[in-house]
Structure 1
Amino acid sequence: MTKTMVQACGGDTRDITEFSLLQAILVDLLKGKRLLLVLDEVWIMEKAAWERLGQPLKFALRGSRLVMTSRNAELATIVGCDQRRQLRLNCLPDASCWSIWKWHAFDGRDLEISPQLASIGEEIVKRCKGLPLAAKAAGGLLRFKPCEEKWYELMNEILPAVRLSYDHLPVHLKRCFAYCSLFPKGYIFEREELIRLWMAQGFLPYHERLQPEDVGRKYFNDLVG
């Protein structure tokens, strides 16, 4: 990407690694132009990083637009997005997830499957919880594998798209989340009780301005988000 930007500015194709120089190149590219920038599946939550990114974007013409998608609802607050411009998408119904799943499992072909496999597939789709990315990932794993054993195996595992959410958590939230696996499936967590348990495990670090309970509430809200 850096080579493309340098070429667009009339320079050579050497790699540019200095951030300030990259910002200057972006400024030259954006001056007097209208911009549509789409950032999909965003996980960067550091406000300082967004401020650095935003500096060159200020040179684009009025009417430019930035569209972002994320599974973390807190991102809109971090980037300063007006609440009126936020769009919260609902989860898909099982019927729609089933269509997505079948498309990727059978490579777009309308194949007949046995009632047994259909029953397993429907259960897998229910476990996708209305997430299209989960349905797509699960269908892709079973592509051209009409084997009950393989389908059962996937049904009883964590779906890759759900696992992806965990993989992108910061370390301090990962251990708090992993601790919750000690409880039985369907357990209803009480926030304050869970925070006290995190405190007992030493998961809530010292903070100059916040009490441990306040840190725990922030962690809890981050996980809910």
Structure 2
Amino acid sequence: MGAEAEEASTSKVSRFIPSFCTCFNPTHVVRNVKMGPKIGEITSRLQDISARKAGLGLEKLRGAAATSAWQRPPPTTPIAYEPDVYGRDEDKTLVLDLLRKVEPNENNVSVISIVGLGGVGKTTLARLVYNDDLAKNFELKAWVCVTDVFDLENITKAILNSVLNSDASGSLDFQQVQRKLTDTLAGKTLLLILDDVWNENYCNWDRLRAPLSVVAKGSKVIVTTCNKNVALMMGAAKNVHELNHLSEDDCWSVFEKHAFEHRNINDHPNLESIGRKIVAKCGGLPLVAKELAGRLRSKQREAEWESVLNS
């Protein structure tokens, strides 16, 4: 394909990709949440488009406008300000039960997958489990945010650095990092969180888990993903926890916590009424409720709240 033809093709793809492909856009989720089962398929397809967009360099072609529309979110960590998590006690208990199970496995490590739509709270649940007292029984722990680009070398380095809580990979090449990680993990129980995984390539996963084969029996990998095929590819068929939407009451609790944190809700009955209508459109996605509440926590006028409701 010639340069002009390639540029024309790229331009067409660029125009096709909406601002929704920023990985997570609460406004668009609110608009489309009534689509029911279709939204899962759409979310997965848009994520794939987003990854393709990055590979094509479309944000460069479209300049500042594209840069503002497509920004990679910051990596997740096991540390977050979450004094209250609503509606996830049962989910946490079920995942902790999977964490306790010791299954016969040739690599001594089993995979648990938390599967659900973007914005449903998979990372939050993984964080609750990672920071639970039960997780202290593991000799080594690591948290790695993977996202849509599955860079085998960088992920392996991140695992090593997280396990040792230092920049242990330094200037080591990939082979040296794998060897050091293998030596570090040998004979020890490991709890590894791989957050936000999109990779469906078995060979990539097989190479990533190679150093994990030396861990002690009972070690666990918890993967969060929007795509159940990822969970199945990674061998989590018996340990898939599908995370459902929050109830409207729990979703309201999330919204109320962030929108009215510094004011008495009883002093703003009209705003509460509008807020409950907003929550009804959130489709039980706590991150949507949190994002919209964050926009409104400093807003005092009903018109400002109505604007969000009608957007």
- Aligned partner of 2:247 in structure 1 is 93
Bigger radius of gyration among the two:
1
Identical amino acids, percent of aligned pairs: 37
Q: CA RMSD in A?
A: 3.1
**1:31 and 1:59 in contact (8 A); partners too:** yes
**1:4 and 1:13 in contact (8 A); partners too:** no
Amino acid at match of 1:66: V
String of CA shifts for 1:42-86, please: whole Å, max 9, x gaps.
Answer: 33333332222211111111110111222222221221212x311
Q: How many residues align?
A: 155
**2:191 and 2:220 in contact (8 A); partners too:** yes
Q: Does 1:53 align with 2:53?
A: no
Q: Does 1:23 align with 2:181?
A: no
Q: Distance in 2 between matches of 1:7 and 1:101?
A: 33
- Aligned partner of 1:138 in structure 2 is 292
Q: List alignment gaps of at least 5 residues for structure 2.
A: 1-143, 145-156
Cα distance change of structure 1 residues 137 and 18 upon mapping to structure 2, 3 Å threshold: farther
String of CA shifts for 1:79-128, please: whole Å, max 9, x gaps.
Answer: 1212x311112211111100011111123765335333222211221221
Cα distance change of structure 1 residues 13 and 68 upon mapping to structure 2, 3 Å threshold: closer
Higher relative contact order (CA 8 A, sep 6+): 2
- Aligned partner of 2:4 in structure 1 is none
Cα distance change of structure 1 residues 43 and 7 upon mapping to structure 2, 3 Å threshold: closer
Of the three residues 257, 269, 286, the one matched with 1:103 is 257
**1:105 and 1:139 in contact (8 A); partners too:** yes
Cα distance change of structure 1 residues 105 and 17 upon mapping to structure 2, 3 Å threshold: farther
TM-score by length of structure 2 reads: 0.43
- Aligned partner of 1:39 in structure 2 is 194
Q: Secondary structure at the match of 1:41?
A: strand
Amino acid at match of 1:138: L
**1:3 and 1:13 in contact (8 A); partners too:** no
Q: Does 1:129 align with 2:283?
A: yes
Cα distance change of structure 1 residues 6 and 116 upon mapping to structure 2, 3 Å threshold: closer
Cα distance change of structure 1 residues 56 and 113 upon mapping to structure 2, 3 Å threshold: farther
Q: List alignment gaps of at least 5 residues for structure 1.
A: 158-225
Amino acid at match of 2:234: V
